[in-house]
Amino acid sequence: MMRSWENRPDTVVCDEPFYAYYLQETGLRHPGYEEVLAHHTTQWESVVDSLLGPCPSPLFYQKHMTHHLLPSIDCSWLAKVENIFLIRNPIEMLTSLVNQIPNPTIEDTGLPQQLALFELLSRTGKIPIVLDSKDILQNPRVMLTQLCKSLGIPFFDQMLTWPSGSRATDGVWAPHWYASVEASTGFAPWKAKEEIVETEFESLCLECEDIYAKLSARKMNPERREHAPDI
């Protein structure tokens, strides 16, 4: 999605700006830990100021991971921007996550935080748009056209394809995480994953599926343009 938005002629992007703060506060030794702390600010207040400050382009696309938004961060600033939540089927998500985090917790998935943020923002009247990654991969033009319409901005064909390779806007962690992103030139067709969730993660998967169902009930899709009832 970040590649898609960056390829628009009217948009600049920002890649996981709270990641350094997250690593500093949790002490998690992710790949490139020291480099991330050295090259990105670890002050969340400064990050928020930069995200709400002047932008050189009409649109500013900010890619966030919900688990990076730790409880110590005042998230009231999110009510000042448009929020788009990207969700993914828990089975597909977990079989990928365990390759990066061998023993993930429910918090590592970001789903509890995402649901909490959805409820928080809904109470302010800024109901987030929810997109399912499968819907986008199956109907990228339809879904992105509908998303842009909901945001009151034009759709551009450039959102569907882009040049392969790295970007100056990628975080310094890109060499550790972005191999498939850098190889991409568009949205790959969706196909069912053959991997299964290991027995030891079945209870975690059930927790994830419960939260996913609540968020999925509010998702945007080609067949329904209005949001479903409140969670």
Q: Does position 77 have pLDDT exceeding 80, yes or no?
A: yes
For the residues 7-34, what does the mean pLDDT come to?
Answer: 95
Confidence of residue 223 (pLDDT cuts 50, 70, 90): low
Cα–Cα dist 150/89, whole Å: 23
Residue 79 tokens read as 């009510």
Q: Which residue has the tokens 């030139």?
A: 185
Cα–Cα dist 156/176, whole Å: 30
Tell me the pLDDT tens digit for each residue of 79-118: 999 999 999 999 999 888 888 788 889 999 999 999 999 9
pTM for the full model?
0.90
Q: Give the domain 2-216 fold.
A: Rossmann fold (3.40.50)
For the residues 160-183, what does the mean pLDDT come to?
Answer: 95
Give alpha helix (H) positions in the chain: 2-6, 19-26, 33-39, 44-52, 90-100, 106-109, 111-124, 133-138, 140-151, 174-177, 179-183, 202-216
Mean pLDDT score across all residues of the chain: 92
Cα–Cα dist 30/48, whole Å: 23
For the residues 5-18, what does the mean pLDDT come to?
Answer: 97
Q: Does position 25 have pLDDT exceeding 60, yes or no?
A: yes
Question: Do the beta carbons of residue 126 and residue 79 sit within 8 Å?
Answer: yes
Least confident residue range of 65-69, 78-82, 131-135, 191-195: 191-195
